């Protein structure tokens, strides 16, 4: 399987480098063809490839799952169980939903289709497409909702955010972000968002836990339980200085620096930066709650699929900028496979 993954990386990279030479009559069907292949690869993957496959199989056969999982999974699992009769269709349905939503969002949010598809493949495909398949669909719905913020159509954004929460409860946080706009940063906003990550690190280094300061009994009790479970070794501690995270911060700040140039080519860069900053901040702030930290960071961080390839517009000649984006994607892919072990090699 590892050979298939790196073969697909090479194919998508080659197309991304040659994308501006492709006519629309070739580019569009090729884009959908690659997406179709990715959906089948994810949906028909071996059961021993990723960490969560057998957990979903177990949920599929356990009727009590109806009380512990999102309504979307209950509906899809029951439909497959009573109509199609094979658990493989659960994975195929999720894979096709996730790929379709991400591809639709890519086409609406950027003109760099294949660079963004490559970033998705290397950064989130193995994680969301093959492991956290419910989050994968939620993330796709989130990306599809972003254009409505540009239009000022908050009702459609809220509708898609609500649908995302039906696929994973963590996505309910998206409902609170409906006020995000796409307009250029005002001076105070520029420095405000620029200072968020350093401030989060200061809170982390001072061991200040804002969550425990919330005077709400239920939340306090839950946080205490989570902290005790972590002390017992239930979860690994988060390293907020790991190289991948620091690299993402560096790329984000570079795009921040160049956003006035990039906005000429992509009007969504402002709102994408806002979501990415929140993604990075969530990882640091919720360091004592690893599950929440990873879920929020990975959900909001899916904007990297669109945001990071925008580096293309900041470096000339274009072939150099494309090679840089391809290299960044390859680094994410290798770290995900060989270091974070999102799949079993």
For residue range 124-142, list pLDDT tens digits in order. 999 999 999 999 999 999 9
Alpha-carbon distance 250 to 248, whole Å? 5
The predicted pLDDT at position 286 comes to 86
Confidence of residue 344 (pLDDT cuts 50, 70, 90): confident
The predicted pLDDT at position 291 comes to 79
Q: Is 63 or 106 the better-scoring residue by pLDDT?
A: 106
- The token duo for 313 is 């517009």
The predicted pLDDT at position 206 comes to 85
Cα dist from 100 to 17, 146, 196, whole Å? 23, 16, 33
pTM of the model: 0.92
Alpha-carbon distance 162 to 138, whole Å? 10
- The token duo for 284 is 């640091």
Q: Is 223 or 127 the better-scoring residue by pLDDT?
A: 127
pLDDT surpasses 80 at 209? no
The secondary structure of 194-214 as a DSSP string is HHHHHHHHHHHHTT--TTTT-
**Mean pLDDT of the 176-186 span:** 82
pLDDT surpasses 60 at 229? no
> For 142-153, how does the pLDDT look when each residue is reduced to its tens digit (9 = 90+)?
999 999 988 888
Query: By C-alpha distance, which of 18, 261, 302, 9 is closest to 137?
Result: 302
**Mean pLDDT of the 96-102 span:** 97
Alpha-carbon distance 318 to 175, whole Å? 38
pLDDT surpasses 60 at 214? no
> For 287-312, how does the pLDDT look when each residue is reduced to its tens digit (9 = 90+)?
878 878 888 999 999 999 999 999 99
Say if CB 95 and CB 133 are below 8 A apart.
yes
**Mean pLDDT of the 254-266 span:** 95
The predicted pLDDT at position 238 comes to 81
Alpha-carbon distance 169 to 138, whole Å? 9
Cβ neighbours of 323 (radius 10 Å):
14
**Mean pLDDT of the 263-280 span:** 95
- The token duo for 100 is 């379709």
Alpha-carbon distance 341 to 250, whole Å? 23
- Looking at the chain, the whole-number percentage of residues with pLDDT higher than 90 is 67
| Integer-rounded Cα radius of gyration of the chain | 20
Question: H or E element: which one contains 340?
Answer: none
Confidence of residue 112 (pLDDT cuts 50, 70, 90): very high
**Mean pLDDT of the 163-186 span:** 88
Say if CB 100 and CB 36 are below 8 A apart.
no
């Amino acid at each position: 399987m590892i050979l298939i993954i790196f073969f697909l990386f090479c194919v998508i990279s080659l197309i991304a480098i040659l994308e501006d030479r492709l006519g629309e009559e070739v580019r569009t069907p090729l884009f959908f063809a690659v997406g179709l292949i990715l959906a089948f690869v994810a949906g028909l993957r071996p059961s021993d490839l990723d960490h969560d496959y057998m957990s979903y199989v177990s949920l599929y056969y356990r009727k009590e799952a109806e009380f512990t999982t999102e309504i979307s999974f209950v509906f899809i699992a029951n439909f497959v169980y009573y109509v199609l009769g094979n658990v493989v269709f659960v994975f195929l349905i999720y894979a096709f939903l996730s790929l379709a939503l991400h591809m639709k969002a890519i086409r609406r949010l950027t003109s760099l289709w294949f660079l963004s598809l490559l970033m998705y493949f290397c950064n989130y495909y193995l994680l969301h497409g093959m492991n956290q398949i419910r989050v994968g669909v939620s993330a796709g719905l989130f990306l599809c909702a972003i254009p409505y913020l540009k239009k000022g159509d908050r009702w459609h954004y809220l509708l898609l955010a609500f649908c995302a929460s039906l696929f994973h409860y963590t996505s309910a946080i998206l409902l609170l972000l409906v006020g995000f706009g796409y307009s250029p940063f005002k001076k105070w906003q520029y420095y405000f968002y620029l200072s968020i990550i350093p401030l989060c690190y200061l809170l982390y280094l001072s061991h200040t836990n804002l969550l425990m300061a919330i005077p709400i009994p239920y939340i306090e009790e839950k946080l205490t339980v989570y902290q005790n479970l972590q002390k017992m070794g239930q979860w690994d501690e988060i390293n907020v200085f790991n190289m991948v995270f620091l690299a993402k911060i560096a790329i984000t700040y570079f795009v921040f620096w160049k956003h006035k140039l990039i906005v000429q080519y992509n009007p969504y860069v402002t709102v994408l930066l806002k979501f990415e900053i929140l993604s990075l901040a969530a990882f640091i702030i919720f360091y004592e709650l690893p599950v929440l930290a990873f879920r929020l960071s990975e959900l909001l961080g899916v904007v990297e699929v669109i945001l990071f390839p925008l580096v293309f517009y900041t470096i000339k000649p274009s072939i150099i900028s494309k090679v840089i984006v391809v290299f960044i994607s390859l680094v994410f892919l290798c770290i995900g496979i060989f270091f974070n072990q999102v799949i079993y090699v």
